[in-house]
Amino acid sequence: MTRFRKDAKDSTDERAQGQDREGAGTDGCASAASNRRGFLTWLSVGIGAVLGAAMTVPWIAMFLSPLRRRDPPVWRSVGRVEDFPVGATIQVTYRDPSPLPWAGFASRNAAWLRREDEARFTAFTSYCTHVGCPVRWEPGAQLFMCPCHGGAFYPNGAVAAGPPPRPLDEHPVRVRDGAVEVQAIGVPVPREEG
Amino acid sequence: MKTLRRMGNWLYDRAGLAPLHRFLHEHKVPPEVGRSRKGWYYVFGQALVFVFLAQVITGAALALHYIPAPDHAWDSLNYLNTEVFWGGFVRGLHFFGASAMVLLVFVHMSRVFLTGSYKFPRELNWISGVVLLLLTLAMAFTGQLLRWDEDGISTVAVAATMAGRVPVIGSHLMELIMAGESIGGATLSRFFALHVIVLPLLIFAVIGFHLFLVVRNGISEPPEAGKRVDRTSYRAWYERRKNEGGSTYWPDATWREMVFVAFVFSTILGLALAFGAKGPGPPPDPAAVEAIPDPDWFFLWYYSLIWYKPAALDQLVLVWLPILLIPALLLLPILFSGGERHPGRRPWAVFLVGASFLMWATLTVLGARPYWVPDFETEPVAEEVLRDAPAEARTGAGVFHFRGCQFCHVVLGEGGTYGPDLTTAALRLSPEEMAVRIIVGIGNMPAYHGQLTAAEVEAILAYLRWAADLHDPANEEGR
Continuous segment of H or E residues that includes residue A161: strand A159-161
- Is the CB of residue B197 less than 8 Å from the CB of residue A63? no
Contact A140 B404 (CB under 8 A): yes
Write out pLDDT tens, residues A107-146: 888 999 999 998 899 999 999 999 899 999 999 999 999 9
- On whether any CB of chain A is under 8 Å from the CB of B86, the answer is no
User: Residue B445: beta bridge partners?
Assistant: B442
Q: Give pLDDT, residue A16.
A: 45
Q: How many CA atoms lie within 13 A of A145 on its CB side?
A: 25
CA-nearest of A80, A152, A54, A175 to B372 is A152
Report the DSSP pairing between strands B28-29 and A173-176.
unpaired
B390 φ/ψ angles, rounded to the nearest 5 degrees: -65, 160
CA B62, CA B437: separation in Å to the nearest integer?
A: 55
CA-nearest of B84, B103, B143, B136 to B278 is B143
- Is the CB of residue B105 less than 8 Å from the CB of residue B133? yes
Report the DSSP pairing between strands A173-176 and A179-183.
antiparallel
Q: Which comes out higher in pLDDT, residue B94 or B313?
A: B94
Mutate to test the interface with B, among A65, A78, A102 (most CBs of B within 10 A): A102
CA B139, CA B102: separation in Å to the nearest integer?
A: 9
Of A97, A147, A188, the CB nearest to B292: A147
Count of CB pairs separated by less than 8 Å, A with B: 187
Of A105, A152, A187, the CB nearest to B446: A152
**Residue B407 Cα, gap to closest chain A Cα (Å):** 9
| Closest-CA residue of chain A to B182 | A186
| Closest-CA residue of chain B to A188 | B161
Q: Give pLDDT, residue B477.
A: 52
The dihedral built from the CA positions of residue B109, B112, B118 and B123, taken in this order, carries a sign that is negative
Name the pLDDT band for A192 (thresholds 50, 70, 90): low
Contact A147 B171 (CB under 8 A): no
Maximum distance among all Cα pairs of chain B, rounded to whole angstroms = 98
CA B279, CA A139: separation in Å to the nearest integer?
A: 31
Of B178, B184, B289, the CB nearest to A100: B184
- Is the CB of residue B155 less than 8 Å from the CB of residue B141? yes
What percent of chain B has pLDDT above 90? 72
Strands (E), B123-277: 228-229, 247-248
Continuous segment of H or E residues that includes residue A37: helix A27-64
CB neighbour list of residue B164: distance below 8 Å, 6 or more residues apart: A187, A188, A189, A190, B170, B171, B173, B174
The dihedral built from the CA positions of residue B109, B112, B113 and B114, taken in this order, carries a sign that is positive
CA B62, CA B74: separation in Å to the nearest integer?
A: 13
The dihedral built from the CA positions of residue B4, B5, B10 and B11, taken in this order, carries a sign that is positive
B361 φ/ψ angles, rounded to the nearest 5 degrees: -65, -45
Q: Give pLDDT, residue A27.
A: 62
User: What is the mean predicted confidence (pLDDT) over B28-47?
Assistant: 92
- Domains, chain B, ordered by start: 24-368 (1.20.810.10), 391-478 (1.10.760.10)
CA B94, CA B272: separation in Å to the nearest integer?
A: 9
CB neighbour list of residue B434: distance below 8 Å, 6 or more residues apart: B425, B426, B461, B464
Q: Is the pLDDT of residue B446 over 80?
A: yes
3-class DSSP assignment, residue A62: helix
Of B153, B164, B188, the CB nearest to A190: B164
Q: Is the pLDDT of residue B479 over 60?
A: no
- On whether any CB of chain B is under 8 Å from the CB of A74, the answer is no
What percent of chain B has pLDDT above 70? 99
Q: Give pLDDT, residue B342.
A: 95
A82 vs A85, A112, A123, A173, B405, CA distance in Å?
7, 16, 16, 15, 32
Write out pLDDT tens, residues A42-89: 999 999 999 999 999 999 999 999 887 677 888 999 999 999 999 999
3-class DSSP assignment, residue B1: coil
Contact B180 A107 (CB under 8 A): no
B121 vs A3, B76, B235, CA distance in Å?
21, 49, 8
| Closest-CA residue of chain A to B183 | A106
B257 vs B1, B262, B268, CA distance in Å?
31, 9, 16
Name the pLDDT band for B69 (thresholds 50, 70, 90): very high
Name the pLDDT band for B226 (thresholds 50, 70, 90): very high
Report the DSSP pairing between strands B247-248 and A179-183.
unpaired
Name the pLDDT band for B475 (thresholds 50, 70, 90): low
- On whether any CB of chain B is under 8 Å from the CB of A49, the answer is no
Q: Residue A190 class from Cβ within 10 Å (0-12 exposed, 13-18 middle, 19+ buried)?
A: buried
Q: Is the pLDDT of residue A1 over 50?
A: no
Instruction: Report chain B residues whose CB lies below 8 A from the CB of A192.
Output: 167
Contact A147 B291 (CB under 8 A): yes
CA A110, CA A92: separation in Å to the nearest integer?
A: 6
Look up residue B226 and give its DSSP letter. Answer: T
Q: Cite the DSSP H helix spans in B218-248.
A: 234-245
For residue B121, cis peptide bond before it (omega within 30 degrees of 0): yes
**Residue A156 Cα, gap to closest chain B Cα (Å):** 12
Of A101, A127, A136, the CB nearest to B157: A127
**Residue A63 Cα, gap to closest chain B Cα (Å):** 8
Please state at what angle helix B150-164 crosses helix B170-178, rounded to 10 degrees. 160
CA B239, CA B218: separation in Å to the nearest integer?
A: 9
For residue B333, cis peptide bond before it (omega within 30 degrees of 0): no
- In A80-109, the residues whose Cβ lies within 8 Å of chain B are 91, 93, 96-97, 99-109
User: What is the mean predicted confidence (pLDDT) over A142-163?
Assistant: 92
CA B278, CA B77: separation in Å to the nearest integer?
A: 10
Q: Point out the least confidently predicted range of A14-23, B253-262, B298-307.
A: A14-23
User: What is the mean predicted confidence (pLDDT) over B458-462?
Assistant: 94
User: What is the mean predicted confidence (pLDDT) over B8-25?
Assistant: 91
Report the DSSP pairing between strands A143-145 and A136-138.
antiparallel
- Residue count of chain A, please give it: 194
Instruction: Report chain B residues whose CB lies below 8 A from the CB of A190.
Output: 161, 164-165, 170
Contact A133 B158 (CB under 8 A): yes
Contact A186 B178 (CB under 8 A): yes
- On whether any CB of chain A is under 8 Å from the CB of B453, the answer is no
CA-nearest of B224, B219, B221 to B249 is B219
Gyration radius of chain B's alpha carbons: 29
Contact B185 A127 (CB under 8 A): no
Q: Residue A188 class from Cβ within 10 Å (0-12 exposed, 13-18 middle, 19+ buried)?
A: buried
Contact B289 A91 (CB under 8 A): yes
Write out pLDDT tens, residues A4-51: 444 444 444 444 444 444 444 456 677 888 899 999 999 999 999 999
Q: Which comes out higher in pLDDT, residue B288 or B192?
A: B192
- In B35-74, the residues whose Cβ lies within 8 Å of chain A are 69-72, 74
Q: Residue B438 class from Cβ within 10 Å (0-12 exposed, 13-18 middle, 19+ buried)?
A: buried
Q: Which comes out higher in pLDDT, residue A118 or B95?
A: B95
Cα B391 from chain centroid (whole Å): 51
Q: How many CA atoms lie within 13 A of B54 on its CB side?
A: 25
- On whether any CB of chain A is under 8 Å from the CB of B425, the answer is no
Report the DSSP pairing between strands A75-80 and A179-183.
antiparallel
Query: Torsion-angle region of residue B246: left (phi > 0), alpha (psi -120 to 50) or beta?
Result: beta
Average pLDDT, chain B: 92
- In A117-136, the residues whose Cβ lies within 8 Å of chain B are 126-127, 130-136
Contact B158 A148 (CB under 8 A): yes
Of B154, B164, B181, the CB nearest to A133: B154
Write out pLDDT tens, residues B148-179: 998 888 889 999 999 999 988 999 999 999 99
Name the pLDDT band for B443 (thresholds 50, 70, 90): confident
